Structure 1
Amino acid sequence: MSAVPSSPVPTGFEQAFRPRSVAVIGASDDPSRISGRALHYLRRAGYRGSVYPVNHQRATVQGLPAYPSLDAVPDVPDMALICLPARLLRQAVADCVAKGVGAAVVYAAGFAETGEQGQALQEELAETARRGNLRLFGPNCLGLLHAASGFVGTFSSAFDEAIPTGGNVAVVSQSGAYGGHLAYLCRRRNIDVGYWVSTGNEAGTDVADCVHWLALQDDVSVILAYAEGVRDGERLRTALAVAHERRKPVVFMKVGSSDSGAAAARSHTASLAGSDSVYDALFRQYGVHRARTTQEQVDLAYACSRGVLPAGRGLGIVTVSGGFGVQLCDAAERYGLEVAGLPEAARARLREINPMGSDDNPCDTTAGWLNDMSLITDTYRVMYAEGDYDSVIGSFTMLPDSPTYGEGIKEAIRKGTADFMDRPTVLCMEARPEVVRSYEEAGFLVYDDSERAVAALDGLARLREGFERPLPAPAGKDTPRRELPAGPFSEAAAQRLLASAGVPFPLSRVVTSAREAAEAAASTGFPAVMKIVSPDIAHKTEIGGVLLGVADAEAAAAAFTELTARAAAACPEARVEGVLVARTAPRGVEVIVGARRDPVFGPVVVFGTGGVRAELYRDVATRVGAVDRDEALRMIAETRGHALLTGFRGAPEADVDALADLLVTVSAFAVAHADRIEAVELNPVVVLAAGQGVLALDALLLEREGTS
């Protein structure tokens, strides 16, 4: 069953990217001015639709008849490019709505980025466009283009030297400058950009809208995205779900890693699930590759643009020197690619083909093949047909650039890989641009560095693995909900609520006197654990509010007196409900399980190893929304401490299944009560031996402000 959230396809995009007619409002006769560049580009690109320059001071603009107003244009333009200063935009946008224009770009700055007055004007423009069903791009953006139709609605200098003529790569960027930089780098890398859009301040159209629509286009094979911030998390989730369903790779550069909005002062979970880790989780769940550098983003776009993803992580290596093979093996280990040896029959075949070369993976062919290039052809055939590798990297240094050998090498590799074009063949080589282009046209991916080549294959493998994972279920689906009492919640209250949802805790009791403490400890069993109970004391250990190993009834009575005295001294204003007396839990592996509300994406579930040490080591896994059991198991397996749960150094295996069930329970509770709950934290949780379950030893439940 599809897990794509129900959301209408963004409207107005067809008119924006493939307009039949364009009005350029405020068009300049000077093609070097911002207000003249888009018109200049349209003419230069051979745009086939009608173009209507609007300029009340001129009869012609750049050789085209001009019109004194939009109303005077003899057509209803699909698209309007508004090249006017901010003070004139109220009327310009209103004119577009009155005319029935489908989409409009506002280039001008001076809006939300300048302060409250600019924000108010931006909101006014957005509301006018929304009411008039006008798809608005910007303000403070560089516009958009669709190469195949020759529509270039931008003034970006990225297209000065050459305008794209059509390709399967789409670029969408909040930052026009960054988007232009990407387009420039793509052209230098022989990557054909078919769609390009800058969203700027996003008054009417955001990155998510663009990703959603672009993922639906049959002529788009990969989407490059850049964002500094996202306001509508559900809209982005919908867009990424559509891309996943359509198997359209998304390579996302998300910058900014602050933890703003997290209630870190009161919850370890909040500090562990900072905003940047939430984006990591989101991208992992939807099979998106998060690029950390621009070079990585371009490298992977280049690899994706060929439309071939490896079926697995098996890597064959062919070199002309053993040293390059070592480099590639080292890189493969860093990126999790598998350089497995060849079967014995294949090794015998290599020895027969090339007695002077090596007979395994990696295969060093030595220099003898320069006299007989069929050796290269046969080596590739063995690697693919008998080694059954999912991809093969060949390291040929600068030899392909040689006038003597270059064409022969290319033809030899082409013959050896002709039957295996469903797998990526990567070449590490240095050569003149025209030589590189000829190798690319033969079907190969070309990189000038071993590390980047292997990183690109890892990225392709990750994308393929992401497509094979099911999408997360829509948040809140089939999640039970109960009304919560008024907060704030002490630990005892949190335990009661979470226990009713299915979270297991040790046997415990809240007492209000030393005598009750002695009786409760005798009932629960010794040694006992005793903790102060107060909705105003979130982290009890910081005030000495927890005592362990209480040995007998007399010690329990004394512990009650000591704990209440410590709370009164450290937090005299705190409301103290009593002391919780609990049975000491059996030994096991300590972990942390929690959830918190992200201001953009809503409930986020967190798992970390080490219990109280999780925040120090940052060994955590995060997911957005409710998780099912399979996803919970993947979360657990992601952490470095997973080994502690699977019998590290002879220890018994822990109850990972029960731990996964706990993650499902906590995530469901957080989603069901997202309107009331800011954070849920179980820290530590003891994971007992396999088949014995888990026990949450401490519970923290924080309300959202203003919800009591």
Structure 2
Amino acid sequence: MSSTYEPGDPAVSRGSLDRAFRPRSVAILGASDDPSRISGRALHYLLRAGFTGEIFPVNHKRDIVQGTPAYRSLADVPGVPDIVLIALPAARLADAVRECVAKGVAAAVVYAAGFAETGDSGARRQTELAAIAREGGLRLFGPNCLGLMNSALGFVGTFSSAFDAGTPKGGGVAIASQSGAYGGHLAYLCRERGLDVGYWVSTGNESDVDVATCIDWLARQDDVTVIMAYLEGVGDGDRLRAALATARAHRTPVVITKVGKSAAGAAAAASHTASLAGADDVYDAVFAESGAYRARTTQEQIDIAYACAHGSFPKGRRLGIVTVSGGFGVELCDAAEQYGLEVAGLPEAARARLRELNPMGSDDNPCDTTANWLNDPALITRTFEIMYGGGDYDCVIGSFTILPDSPTFGAGIREAIRAGTERYLDRPTALCMQARPEVVRAYEDAGFLVFGDSDRAVRALAALARIVEGFDEHSDEAPDPGLPTAGPLSGLSEAGAQEVLAAAGVPFLPSRLVTSRADAHEAAGELGMPLAAKVVSVDLAHKTDVGGVELGVTDAAAAFELITTRVAAARPDARIDGVLLSPMAPAGVEIIVGTNTDPVFGPVIVIGFGGVTAELHRDVVLRVGAVTVEAAREMVLGLRSAPLLTGHRGGPVADLEALARVVSAVSRFAVANRDRVVSVELNPVLVGPDGAVALDALILTPSKEGHPWTSD
């Protein structure tokens, strides 16, 4: 249910964030009579926008501020303001926040900088502010933020220059940005693009309210159609995931720009999994699982939000193309292939109708109408009807170059396309065209998405399709990871790691740890030939690098001697527990399955095509947290090389269910032991037609010295 309400309705209970985003009264501490000053701009904006609620400027020196009666202190303000905008220097903020708490205010905005962004002393001052607010039940925006806005109410609680030219009229676009400058830039670009911003918020240092909190609230509102978000970092990964899950549940698109890429950390030196699960890849996985769209550029973010705000989404990826020039059709086809849209051909019946309609044009998808329609605009109408009705496309792009701007043809083209698409308003129709702003707006008002570039048009439609897939395909269901492992996990050799993971549900080949030539000879008699032999040492993460592996062994005693001698020479510092013998594995595909603990989001499950070249290929899929067997199967099928597991070119079909069970088991183990395990790696897991078996195991745990992993 939405938490929207009618202003003044006492029957509706309002939480702190409701009162912050939809205030009925606003107080401004330090309000200036000069509208050009930071401390005067919010009051100026509120008065100019015609804020529907009460305004209480607080200035201890003036009785009138910008023509509005002022108060000497917050305590003097009648009633309890819903939100307080604090335009005071940093030194006075602690007392100001205490005043807000004493007054019973729901939320406060701290504009001032000079806190955590400046170093340790600033961080301590920020912690103090947050503690005062938290203990008093006050929601705090900032410090070092530009405030927030609800344009429908005329509430402009910010000093951002983005609103100098006027307050937006109110609309379905919401912007939540850690950076006030970036958020203001987005608001400015939205105005240029004809997008009406209804809500706008800058969270700054996020001592309390963060972007995730805002996304969660905004996604629940009936008057929000798309959320644009900007992130530099995330303090609470679970909160962000929950907020994006809320957006998905309400089918509210979230278009995110996340900047900053981080290395996987020192654990990458010990684990393929860690190097394959870089921090930026984890963000991609989080956004993908929720259906959020990650924009790589500001222009792309605006384009996708623009397309989402239109309100119609494709039900699939089938794209129809109508052009007035064959060259543009080729360009659109190339873009469709790049972004994953299908330019499917028309059925013969529809092709026959096109040939009859326009013998001079083409009769397939893309459909080039040529210039013949200039004599009869109805050709355009009928072409769109045939493309949609006969081809059943999920979306259609029409490329009309500069013709819509023509005083002679522009209005006629618009009306012809409108008539041809009026029965298909449940799906988006995009037009590639160049025209004056007023002409573009007329086409948009007629129901079309308008782009000046073919690539941007196709990318936007592909993004809409991906967002819908994210809404429909992913589930919040996560398996119970169970109880943590009872025994110790640090200092495990491969043999010890296998024992622990086998108890968690991971299948391994039978094996024996041998410590002498005699042991090796005896074990060979039990296991049979040929054998695989691997050195066992907690100091060696990658055994092949030091000659610690022999395959196809037919003399176990000799293999034991060879391996221990080679390893001792290559790594005299390594502690050798012995050699692990196991039967040679049957034929199959090598898959790497592992986990890495992200500092923000916790355990991340990673799968990819394995072996020693795993890092070179980087064909991987990530998910955060424990996954079900069904979700694990989706991960496997999401690999680019998945056809190698499903019978590519007549090859054997691998047991995907067995592999999915391994992936799910490893993910549940990592989550159950998230405070004790940094990384788990099975490299490889061999997947054949009749099952999956892990051939190697590694468990890395935090060390007492603070290193990312330890083996002792």
Q: TM-score, normalised by structure 1?
A: 0.95
Name the amino acid aligned to 1:488. G
The aligned counterpart of 1:596 is 596
Deviates more, 1:442-451 or 1:260-269: 260-269
- Contact 2:610/2:683 (<8 A) preserved: no
The 2-side partners of 1:165 and 1:131 are apart by 37
Alpha-carbon offset, residue 666 of structure 1:
1.0
The aligned counterpart of 1:448 is 452
The aligned counterpart of 1:234 is 238
**What is the DSSP-based 3-state SS (H/G/I as helix, E as strand, rest coil) of the residue aligned with 2:675?**
coil
The aligned counterpart of 1:551 is 554
- Contact 1:262/1:274 (<8 A) preserved: no
CA-to-aligned-CA distance 1:442-472 (integer Å, 9 cap, x gap): 1100000000000000000001111111323
The aligned counterpart of 2:659 is 659
- Of residues 421, 425, 440 in structure 1, which corresponds to 2:425? 421
Which runs of structure 2 are paired with 1:428-443 in the superposition (5 Å)? 428-443=432-447
**What is the DSSP-based 3-state SS (H/G/I as helix, E as strand, rest coil) of the residue aligned with 1:626?**
coil
The 2-side partners of 1:635 and 1:613 are apart by 20
- Of residues 402, 407, 410 in structure 2, which corresponds to 1:403? 407
- Contact 2:264/2:275 (<8 A) preserved: no
The aligned counterpart of 1:161 is 165
- Of residues 100, 111, 116 in structure 2, which corresponds to 1:96? 100
**Residue 584, structure 1, aligned to residue 584, structure 2:** yes
Alpha-carbon offset, residue 511 of structure 1:
1.2
The 2-side partners of 1:247 and 1:358 are apart by 39
Name the amino acid aligned to 2:497. A
The 2-side partners of 1:544 and 1:312 are apart by 52
**Residue 333, structure 1, aligned to residue 316, structure 2:** no
Alpha-carbon offset, residue 254 of structure 1:
1.0
- Contact 2:481/2:669 (<8 A) preserved: no
CA-to-aligned-CA distance 1:413-457 (integer Å, 9 cap, x gap): 111111111110110000000110011011100000000000000
- Contact 2:481/2:626 (<8 A) preserved: no
The aligned counterpart of 1:3 is none
The aligned counterpart of 1:695 is 693
- Contact 1:320/1:365 (<8 A) preserved: yes
- Of residues 516, 523, 527 in structure 2, which corresponds to 1:524? 527
Which runs of structure 2 are paired with 1:450-465 in the superposition (5 Å)? 450-465=454-469
Alpha-carbon offset, residue 248 of structure 1:
0.4
Alpha-carbon offset, residue 625 of structure 1:
0.8
The aligned counterpart of 2:6 is none
Alpha-carbon offset, residue 572 of structure 1:
4.2
Alpha-carbon offset, residue 331 of structure 1:
1.0
Which runs of structure 2 are paired with 1:368-407 in the superposition (5 Å)? 368-407=372-411
**What is the DSSP-based 3-state SS (H/G/I as helix, E as strand, rest coil) of the residue aligned with 1:591?**
strand
- Contact 1:592/1:612 (<8 A) preserved: no
Unmatched tracts of structure 1, length 5 or more: 1-8
- Of residues 487, 512, 518 in structure 1, which corresponds to 2:490? 487
**What is the DSSP-based 3-state SS (H/G/I as helix, E as strand, rest coil) of the residue aligned with 1:611?**
coil
**Residue 263, structure 1, aligned to residue 267, structure 2:** yes
**What is the DSSP-based 3-state SS (H/G/I as helix, E as strand, rest coil) of the residue aligned with 1:431?**
coil
The aligned counterpart of 1:170 is 174
**Residue 123, structure 1, aligned to residue 127, structure 2:** yes
Alpha-carbon offset, residue 480 of structure 1:
5.2
The 2-side partners of 1:512 and 1:457 are apart by 62
The aligned counterpart of 1:5 is none
- Contact 2:398/2:432 (<8 A) preserved: yes
The aligned counterpart of 2:672 is 672
- Of residues 284, 299, 305 in structure 2, which corresponds to 1:295? 299
**Residue 36, structure 1, aligned to residue 36, structure 2:** no
Name the amino acid aligned to 2:691. G
CA-to-aligned-CA distance 1:271-310 (integer Å, 9 cap, x gap): 1111111111111111111111111110000000011111
**Residue 705, structure 1, aligned to residue 709, structure 2:** no
The aligned counterpart of 1:4 is none
CA-to-aligned-CA distance 1:298-347 (integer Å, 9 cap, x gap): 00000000111111111111111111111111111111111111122212
Name the amino acid aligned to 1:487. S
The 2-side partners of 1:625 and 1:704 are apart by 19
Deviates more, 1:348-357 or 1:270-279: 348-357
The 2-side partners of 1:152 and 1:477 are apart by 45
**Residue 248, structure 1, aligned to residue 281, structure 2:** no
The aligned counterpart of 1:498 is 501
Name the amino acid aligned to 1:632. A
- Of residues 14, 17, 25 in structure 2, which corresponds to 1:13? 17
The aligned counterpart of 1:143 is 147
The 2-side partners of 1:261 and 1:484 are apart by 27
**What is the DSSP-based 3-state SS (H/G/I as helix, E as strand, rest coil) of the residue aligned with 1:549?**
strand
- Of residues 50, 57, 60 in structure 2, which corresponds to 1:53? 57
Name the amino acid aligned to 1:457. L
Name the amino acid aligned to 1:194. G
Name the amino acid aligned to 1:654. A
The 1-side partners of 2:15 and 2:609 are apart by 46
- Contact 1:590/1:686 (<8 A) preserved: yes
- Of residues 491, 507, 510 in structure 2, which corresponds to 1:507? 510
Alpha-carbon offset, residue 478 of structure 1:
5.6
- Contact 2:595/2:680 (<8 A) preserved: yes
The aligned counterpart of 1:634 is 634
The 1-side partners of 2:269 and 2:15 are apart by 43
CA-to-aligned-CA distance 1:546-576 (integer Å, 9 cap, x gap): 2223222xxx223323333344444444443
- Contact 2:603/2:624 (<8 A) preserved: yes
The 1-side partners of 2:359 and 2:578 are apart by 83
Name the amino acid aligned to 2:589. V
- The structure-2 alpha-carbon separation of the partners of 1:254 and 1:103, relative to structure 1 and needing over 3 Å to count, comes to same
The 2-side partners of 1:199 and 1:183 are apart by 15
**What is the DSSP-based 3-state SS (H/G/I as helix, E as strand, rest coil) of the residue aligned with 1:84?**
coil
The 2-side partners of 1:478 and 1:508 are apart by 27
Alpha-carbon offset, residue 238 of structure 1:
0.9
Alpha-carbon offset, residue 499 of structure 1:
1.2
Unmatched tracts of structure 2, length 5 or more: 1-12, 705-709
Alpha-carbon offset, residue 352 of structure 1:
2.2
- Contact 1:262/1:598 (<8 A) preserved: no
The aligned counterpart of 1:108 is 112
- Contact 1:632/1:660 (<8 A) preserved: yes
- Contact 1:169/1:191 (<8 A) preserved: yes
Name the amino acid aligned to 1:559. A
Alpha-carbon offset, residue 117 of structure 1:
0.6
The 2-side partners of 1:232 and 1:428 are apart by 41
Name the amino acid aligned to 1:526. M
The 1-side partners of 2:33 and 2:85 are apart by 15
**What is the DSSP-based 3-state SS (H/G/I as helix, E as strand, rest coil) of the residue aligned with 2:338?**
helix
Q: Percent identity?
A: 65
Alpha-carbon offset, residue 262 of structure 1:
5.9
The aligned counterpart of 1:324 is 328
Deviates more, 1:402-411 or 1:350-359: 350-359
The 2-side partners of 1:649 and 1:470 are apart by 30
The aligned counterpart of 2:681 is 681
The 1-side partners of 2:347 and 2:73 are apart by 75
The 1-side partners of 2:459 and 2:121 are apart by 46
Alpha-carbon offset, residue 261 of structure 1:
4.7
Q: TM-score, normalised by structure 2?
A: 0.95
The 2-side partners of 1:325 and 1:457 are apart by 16
**Residue 343, structure 1, aligned to residue 347, structure 2:** yes
**What is the DSSP-based 3-state SS (H/G/I as helix, E as strand, rest coil) of the residue aligned with 2:399?**
strand
Deviates more, 1:42-51 or 1:193-202: 42-51
**Residue 76, structure 1, aligned to residue 80, structure 2:** yes
Alpha-carbon offset, residue 649 of structure 1:
3.7
The 1-side partners of 2:162 and 2:352 are apart by 53
The aligned counterpart of 2:290 is 286
The 2-side partners of 1:234 and 1:74 are apart by 40
The 1-side partners of 2:536 and 2:325 are apart by 69
- Contact 1:261/1:598 (<8 A) preserved: no
- Contact 1:472/1:627 (<8 A) preserved: no
